[in-house]
Structure 1
């Protein structure tokens, strides 16, 4: 059964502006709109490069020449028209189910975001609500929200979920690359055919809190189970259209078709392997070649590397392009409508980039392309940030309603169950 969402959750792009839910264009340049990006991994870069220390990397300065590349700094965020950013507070998951201590590691990442905002308070402002995002924009600051990437962070505990919300998390991606005891991941063997009963409890509690449910990284069955459970709009913080690229991380058309009723937003990502089918095919072929070489020469990694380099020279890597990103936006508009599109670049979480979308300064180039394809200013403003701001506010309103109806759920008597 599909969830029943009030019709205000499916509202025209022009109406978003008239009721004050879409950000205004930042300048007279119609290609530059206020972006609210769904996913950026800069906090994890601080973890990987500097052990969560901020002093070695001052993002008030430009850093496009760093090696390995850094996609994000404040000057380039300004050039890209980024008015708010969901910073990913991410912890890897190595095996099915996660591990004890994941919650503490996520809190460390949240601390990175809070210290980053404090250190750069002239440019960044911590945001917990849609109103905070608007207030930051009115002050000329970049609203800084936090999104948990992977439900392993809650360690199978509704209490931990509530505590992470209280600490500032405003969305949670239900899974990351491995499945959980309560939800299936798109890139792991399915075990539950979607959500378990406890997984439904997690989703219901997220709605009660006002935390956006993020369906990037989950299986199609988990997407559908979640849409059957929620009473507020979902997001896909960094996914694209499976109708153009058959990657399990992308959103299939039968899920896109449910977005108008739910009010959800698919935030198109700039991961080359999710955008270009040719690139995905090449990636799969390279993985197979690597495995074959490892089987043929198991004790000579140097030879494996040399032979793989020869294969790559004979099979040049296809590049994903900005035009192909726009194709994904076109496809989602055709199936779901322009009211259900956003942007989630995944900058600083990707090792290669789309040509024309190399860092956070490049969003205006995408809007130039959309304008060439006939998108209006209202369409571009909705895609840039108006749609996700509307979804965030709808979640906040639904949380107020649910909190009048019921208290926080107790832990289940039998835990999440063995698998």
Structure 2
């Protein structure tokens, strides 16, 4: 962990470093409010289309399964992020691809409907410049990402369709090895990327889309770093030094990511063993289809989920452990190569960081660790915008 003195020397010089640890709560709240804060992986679209659920409202995490809504975005000063088109891994067959593509298209449409329904509060951005313009206009910001390119099947021309739908970030794989790449912890079928996966990297570069290496195997990560013309992002990953899990990235690869200009967005998941009990697994199964449940069924699911959080939490990670891991990541990668993607509404959240209203506390702790406002804003948005601009500059449309 950096000391105040070390931080002053490394960033602004001793004479230019303000004593941030003496700032009061009002000062910290104001600083966090004035930052541009983005999250690179919001699974919130799973909640879009729920009967009786109001995305524009401010829900209470104690009684509601969702962790993100427009009310809490305003309260926690999360200015925006990448709303995810997630598709569960299925069979690598034409029928499996067709079913997955139909699902992904509908999920994209659901994001369009929900964001489009609140134009006074939130708008879509399709470029880094549009992100900054919306922030300047005091609008919340919605971007789109693909988690798992499985729905593309073997037709890479579909990437252009999703680009036209507003997608600006995509990852090749989720929890299972697919036609593009080996997954972290999955079958080592390709020993990295498949031939189609290498073509996928080239097409992502051509379209000007940011490549997301979260969920990819180490070997697939290595190939993507070597092949991509633009830097990678890991939209929701954690350092393996903090917890040894295949989903996390080791120190050597974190350094390689930084050297190549990429960034890791710190997650709250896999910083401890995942406590996936039978009861939690059943609740997850119902959560996958929450938009099809009645209002009463949704309320009961939320009640059961939060009750289980109290007796058998999914993660044994404390906020202190999260901050230790984050500070360790910053030390290893540097402030120019860290961002935030907590995996909200996709299994993320820990004690002390249960939903997005707690984000100012992270800013407070970074200030107390000696990081400057300039350092913090790089991590909350600047690095993501830089990666977007690098991808945009490489576009060959």
Match of 2:143 among 145, 155, 160: 145
The equivalent residue for 1:275 is 271
Which string of whole-angstrom CA distances, capped at 9 and with x for unpartnered residues, describes residues 383-413 of structure 1?
A: 11111111111110111xx44xxxxxxxxxx
Cα RMSD for the two superposed structures: 2.7
Unaligned runs of 5+ in 1: 1-11, 15-25, 51-55, 291-311, 404-419
So what's the TM-score if we normalise by structure 1? 0.76
The equivalent residue for 1:174 is 172
Per the alignment, in what secondary structure is the counterpart of residue 154 of structure 2? coil
For 2:314 and 2:44, the matched residues in 1 are separated by 26
The equivalent residue for 2:216 is 218
1:376 aligned to 2:372?
yes
Asked if structure 1 preserves the Cα contact closer than 8 Å seen for 2:39 and 2:341, the reply is yes
Which string of whole-angstrom CA distances, capped at 9 and with x for unpartnered residues, describes residues 302-339 of structure 1?
A: xxxxxxxxxx9999986312222222222222222111
1:356 aligned to 2:367?
no
1:69 aligned to 2:65?
yes
| Cα distance change of structure 1 residues 318 and 358 upon mapping to structure 2, 3 Å threshold | closer
1:246 aligned to 2:244?
yes
For 1:27 and 1:164, the matched residues in 2 are separated by 39
Unaligned runs of 5+ in 2: 1-9, 13-26, 282-308
Which string of whole-angstrom CA distances, capped at 9 and with x for unpartnered residues, describes residues 116-139 of structure 1?
A: 121110110111100110111011
Deviation at 1:345, TM superposition (A): 1.6
For 2:58 and 2:231, the matched residues in 1 are separated by 36
Match of 2:152 among 136, 151, 154: 154
| Cα distance change of structure 1 residues 314 and 126 upon mapping to structure 2, 3 Å threshold | closer
For 1:361 and 1:13, the matched residues in 2 are separated by 29
The equivalent residue for 1:320 is 317
Asked if structure 2 preserves the Cα contact closer than 8 Å seen for 1:77 and 1:361, the reply is yes
Per the alignment, in what secondary structure is the counterpart of residue 177 of structure 1? coil
Match of 2:119 among 121, 131, 138: 121
| Cα distance change of structure 1 residues 147 and 175 upon mapping to structure 2, 3 Å threshold | same
Asked if structure 2 preserves the Cα contact closer than 8 Å seen for 1:96 and 1:178, the reply is no
The equivalent residue for 1:82 is 78
Asked if structure 2 preserves the Cα contact closer than 8 Å seen for 1:13 and 1:338, the reply is no
Match of 1:36 among 24, 35, 38: 38
Asked if structure 1 preserves the Cα contact closer than 8 Å seen for 2:229 and 2:394, the reply is yes
Asked if structure 2 preserves the Cα contact closer than 8 Å seen for 1:323 and 1:369, the reply is no
1:398 aligned to 2:394?
yes
Asked if structure 1 preserves the Cα contact closer than 8 Å seen for 2:319 and 2:350, the reply is yes
Aligned residues: 342
For 2:191 and 2:202, the matched residues in 1 are separated by 18
The equivalent residue for 1:3 is none
Deviation at 1:74, TM superposition (A): 1.0
Runs of 4+ that moved beyond 3 A: 65-68, 94-99, 312-318
Which string of whole-angstrom CA distances, capped at 9 and with x for unpartnered residues, describes residues 260-286 of structure 1?
A: 332111011122xx123xx45xx38x6
Which string of whole-angstrom CA distances, capped at 9 and with x for unpartnered residues, describes residues 167-195 of structure 1?
A: 11111111011111221011321101001
The equivalent residue for 1:414 is none
The equivalent residue for 1:7 is none
| Cα distance change of structure 1 residues 211 and 321 upon mapping to structure 2, 3 Å threshold | same
Deviation at 1:219, TM superposition (A): 0.3
For 1:113 and 1:100, the matched residues in 2 are separated by 20
Per the alignment, in what secondary structure is the counterpart of residue 100 of structure 1? helix
So what's the TM-score if we normalise by structure 2? 0.80
Deviation at 1:61, TM superposition (A): 1.3
The equivalent residue for 1:389 is 385
| Cα distance change of structure 1 residues 30 and 110 upon mapping to structure 2, 3 Å threshold | same
